[in-house]
Structure 1
Amino acid sequence: MTVWPDEAGARAQRRPGLDGYARCRFGRPARCVVGRVPIDPDAWKGWHGPERICWREAIGDSAWEIAMRVVQMRPHTDDVCDHTTAAEVDRLKSAYAKYADRDRGNPEKEKRPGRLRMVRDRDVALYRLLDRETTPPLKRYRVLDLGCGTGDLIHQLQRYGFPNDRLFGVDLLPESLATAKRKCPDVSFTEANAEHVPFPDQRFDFILVFTVFSSILSPGMASNVAREITRVLTPDGVIIWYDLRYPNPWNRNVRAMTRRRIQDLFPDFEIELTSKTLLPPIAYRLGTLTDPLYPTLALVPAFRSHYFGMLRSASSGVIESGSTEPSPSRENRKPPFGPMP
């Protein structure tokens, strides 16, 4: 039986459920698997600083138990649905309307130090990837943000130096697009279902897919969106991926996007992903300790909630829009970006 990392080294009391899952002290039919992630309490002692901070003491009991609940979960077996496309679209619109109402009622959420650090972490990773995969001038590349929401990523791409006429955003929700258009008035935004985007074949060199597929519970719709992405991507293009790798026990409107699921959606692509982003339940609770604790806690792989990286067609070469010639080596070319804005 798994040992939970608390001071007493107490063992969680579990009993078999009628559904075949173990039951644990957190209540619900446990998605915890006995023995799946054995944890030695001493293994989680901090190596940072002379006092050897204990992780649990550093982040608090509640955040620790939340983290342990998440990292010991296995992907839900019932987190997919057989909705028709129309029903799935209605569900998505309803879910995001609830998210918007929730956020309006909690305006301080966006300003939490932990959340700001999570966003900064993601943006730095995106900056480094694009800096590595592009050569000047940036006007040679077309970039699509699929599921662009309120346009935050498009705004970052503008700051990185991409011309407005090479940036495109697509989203299902007109309210989000209205905000995006106010934020980036010179960029082309389109309201569309991602199963049918209004662009010709092989149009984009980069397609950003950030927390898109974790929100789609219908396998049929997810497959359709993946096919559409493949259609509008250039042969040497790249899908830039950022999405949940763990299920969320508090939100049944999302699912974990494991490596297997990603590979099933894009079987002809090579996947280069790394875990990224400290678990939000921990990050949100760090408060004024965010700067000293976030980098250290994020060193623990099990505490990273998302996958970030790129998917590239297995038959493609180096990204060089409109050319089959290899791009200059990193040492011999001028970086397209300046310092991180």
Structure 2
Amino acid sequence: MTNQAEQDRINHVYRQWHGGAGLVRYAWHRSEILVQEADRARALAALLPVTVGADLSHVRALDVGCGHGSFLRQLIDWGATPSQLAGTELQPDRLEHARLHTAPGVRWHLGTLDAFLDGSMDLVSAHTVFSSILDDDLRRELAGEMWRVLRPGGWAMIFDFRYSNPRNKQVRKVTDVELLRFWPAEKRHYRTLVLAPPLGRAMARLPRLAPELLAALLPPLRSHFFYMAQK
């Protein structure tokens, strides 16, 4: 990666955010968070069998910006082999958390994708990573690195925001134009999900069916997407 100033900004934002009061609204036991995680799991369960296949035991996967390692643990729960998986992260404390709470064998890497060989992965994913990058050149560069590491026939997976957050100038939505420009492919899948978090929090005390029904009936209220493209 060449834009060191942008990387430094991202690191600074995450260091300020990590451990702060803002994390309370993302606590794992909150009802709206449980609904969001269920939405993601259902979308993944629909997308993975028609892309990399239902048998994950031989899938070589790299999660870029892996955070605490939750996506890789999900793959392991669904049958992936830990030694076939890898995660990269820029924050050492997050990477150490992932290492401590994930099955042994996963390859963890602090830094960028330079350490990974061309065409070495079947699946390369990035979850709410690109929305944290404000610089267009760095977005393009990271997308190119993900495409480089992916083997022909493999799949890139992006999970991110459909809309910008007017209250948080440190993130920016990922547009449809960017998806098609960064990961051009004849075979691709696009799926929207997750009721916009402010609505989800407002409806948290209502029966669980209420926010799910609202998100199902009004697609524009879904704040996130999955995009998968085959190289």
Same fold (TM over 0.5): yes
Q: Find out whether 1:191 has 2:110 as its counterpart.
A: yes
Q: What code does the residue aligned with 1:239 have? A: A
Partner of 1:169: 87
| 1:133 paired to 2:51 | yes
**Is residue 52–residue 155 contact of structure 2 (8 Å, CA) maintained in 1?**
no
* Alignment check: 8 A CA contact 2:90 2:110 kept: yes
Question: 3-state DSSP class of the match of 2:125?
Answer: strand
**Counterpart contact for 1:263–1:269, Cα < 8 Å:** no
Q: Is the 8 A contact 2:190 2:228 kept in 1?
A: yes
For the Cα contact (< 8 Å) 2:61–2:85, is it kept in 1?
yes
Alignment size in residue pairs: 228
Alpha-carbon distance between aligned partners in 2 of 1:293 and 1:104, rounded to the nearest angstrom: 25
Distance 1:255 1:270, change over 3 A: farther
After superposition, the CA RMSD in angstroms is 2.0
Of Structure 1 and Structure 2, which has the larger fraction of its residues in strand?
Answer: 2
SS of the residue 1:272 aligns to? strand
C-alpha separation between the residues in 1 aligned to 2:131 and 2:186? 19
- Aligned residue in 2 for 1:204: 121
Matches within 5 A, 1:1-341: 85-103=3-21, 106=24, 109-135=27-53, 137-186=55-104, 187-193=106-112, 196-267=113-184, 270-299=187-216, 300-313=218-231
Q: Kindly provide the amino acid, as one letter, of the partner of residue 258 in structure 1.
A: T
Q: CA-to-partner distance for each residue in 1:195-231, whole Å, 9 max, x for gaps?
A: x431111011011111111111111111110111111
* Superimposed CA distance per residue, residues 49-83 of structure 1 (whole angstroms, 9 cap, x where no aligned partner): xxxxxxxxxxxxxxxxxxxxxxxxxxxxxxxxxxx
**Distance (Å, rounded) in 2 between the aligned partners of 1:243 and 1:132:** 20
Query: Is contact 1:237–1:312 with CA below 8 Å preserved after alignment?
Result: yes
Q: Shift of the alpha carbon at 1:268?
A: 5.1
Against the structure 1 CA distance between its residues 119 and 183, is the aligned structure 2 distance closer, same or farther, given a 3 Å change threshold? Answer: same
TM-score, normalising length: structure 2: 0.91
Gaps of 5+ in 2: none
Residue 185 of structure 1 and its aligned partner are, at CA, apart by 4.4
Q: Percent same amino acid at aligned positions? A: 31
CA distance in 2 between counterparts of 1:108 and 1:115 reads 6
Q: Quick one: structure 1 residues 102 and 238, their matched pair in 2 at CA, closer, same or farther if it must change by over 3 Å?
A: same
The answer as to whether partners of 1:141 and 1:166 remain within 8 angstroms in 2 is yes
How has the CA–CA distance of structure 1 residues 267 and 92 changed in structure 2, closer, same or farther, with 3 Å as cutoff? same
Query: How far apart are the structure 2 equivalents of 1:152 and 1:306?
Result: 17
List alignment gaps of at least 5 residues for structure 1: 1-83, 314-341
Q: 1:160 to 1:247 in 2, by over 3 A?
A: same
Paired residues of 2:52 and 2:123 also in contact (CA < 8 A): no
| 138 and 101 in structure 1: CA distance in 2 versus 1, 3 angstrom threshold | closer
**Residue identity in the other structure for 1:164:** P
**Structure with the higher fraction of residues in helix conformation:** 2
